[in-house]
Amino acid sequence: MDHGQQATPHSSEEAALPLSKTQFVYEWIRQEILSGALEPGSRIRQQEVAETLGVSYTPVREAIRQLQATGLLTHSPNRGSAVSTLEDSALHELYLLRGAVEGLGARLAAASITETDLATLDGIHDEMTTLAGRTVDPAVAGRLAELSRRFHSVIVAAGGPHIIYPKLQEIWSNHPVPRSASLWASAEHAARALEAHAQLLVALRDRDADAAARIMEAHIGESVRYRLDRDIPTAS
């Protein structure tokens, strides 16, 4: 991937209904990043965004400013605004943070998770296992990524609904992985991740807090090693 390439945003139907023009532009650009239409390093041209969305420069400038504040976009005097990229050291740091946050969520979930939560996790895991047995095309990979996010969300929300879960949502929101760079496109990664999910289910049912935390942290650590070993890019 050419991280220095220039890209023109394309229209998207995934943006949420706007509460304001600024929020509309913000969500539109964010969805373009998540979809992979705007790759890491792609420039964001205010005029093109304004013309594509039929808005003035003011909400575009404000949306870009907000996206820079979250870290999704960066600004340089020579290139203007561009989709952020994560260096290897920063990517490793990000996954360490995720491991700490989600590991703590899993530890606490071992004591507080309900039978309803466990049944939900079983259903998610069963669907993922069925999907992973097929040829991993982009649509299947996207669905697996969505289900994996739900799986992790249920666990962390069960363990730390007040502080830990909102913090995880913030991390995911500010450092999204474009769908085009999803690890779930790899059958090898899918098999390893699903085995970790199965182990997590056992630990949670056994109310084994130490095992749940250890498995979650190792699972996330394996993901970043897999990404770095294969130089799979991600946005910041």
pLDDT of residue 199: 98
Q: What is the pLDDT of residues 90-145, one digit of tens each?
A: 788 889 999 999 999 999 999 999 999 999 999 999 999 999 987 667 788 889 98
44-74 residue pLDDT tens: 999 999 999 999 999 999 999 999 888 788 8
Q: Just give the CATH number of 88-229.
A: 1.20.120.530
Q: Calculate helix-pair angle for 21-35, 46-53, nearest 10 degrees.
A: 110
Pairing, β 80-83 against β 73-76: antiparallel
Report the range of poorest mean pLDDT among 14-18, 25-29, 123-127.
Answer: 14-18
Whole-number Å distance between alpha carbons of 221 and 169: 19
Query: How remote is the C-alpha of 147 from its chain's centroid?
Result: 12
pLDDT greater than 80 at residue 220? yes
Give the angle 222-157-83 at the CA atoms, nearest 5°: 55
Please state, in angstroms and rounded to a whole number, the distance separating the CA atoms of residues 162 and 218.
24
* pLDDT mean over 203-224: 96
Structure token digits, residue 194: 């699903």
Evaluate whether 155 touches 110 at the Cβ level (below 8 Å).
Answer: no
Interatomic CA distance for residues 194 and 219, integer angstroms: 10
Q: What are phi and psi of 125, to 5 degrees?
A: -65, -40
Say whether domain 21-83 belongs to CATH 1.10.10.10.
yes
Residue 9, pLDDT above cutoff 60: no
**What tokens does 119 get?**
């049944």
Whether 88-229 and 21-83 are alike in CATH topology: the answer is no
The values of phi and psi at residue 85, to 5°, are -120, 155
Question: Strands, E, within the chain: which ranges?
Answer: 73-76, 80-83
The single-letter code of the amino acid at 205 is R
Answering whether pTM is above 0.95, one says no
Q: How confident is the model at residue 12 (pLDDT cuts 50, 70, 90)?
A: very low
Q: Quote the CA–CA distance of 174 and 126 in Å, as a whole number.
A: 29
- What ranges do the domains of the chain cover? 21-83, 88-229
Q: Are 105 and 155 in contact (CB under 8 A)?
A: yes
| Residue-wise DSSP of 35-65 | HTSS-TT-B--HHHHHHHHT--HHHHHHHHH
How far, in Å, CA of 145 to CA of 139, rounded?
Answer: 10
Assign 236 a pLDDT band (cuts: 50, 70, 90).
Answer: very low
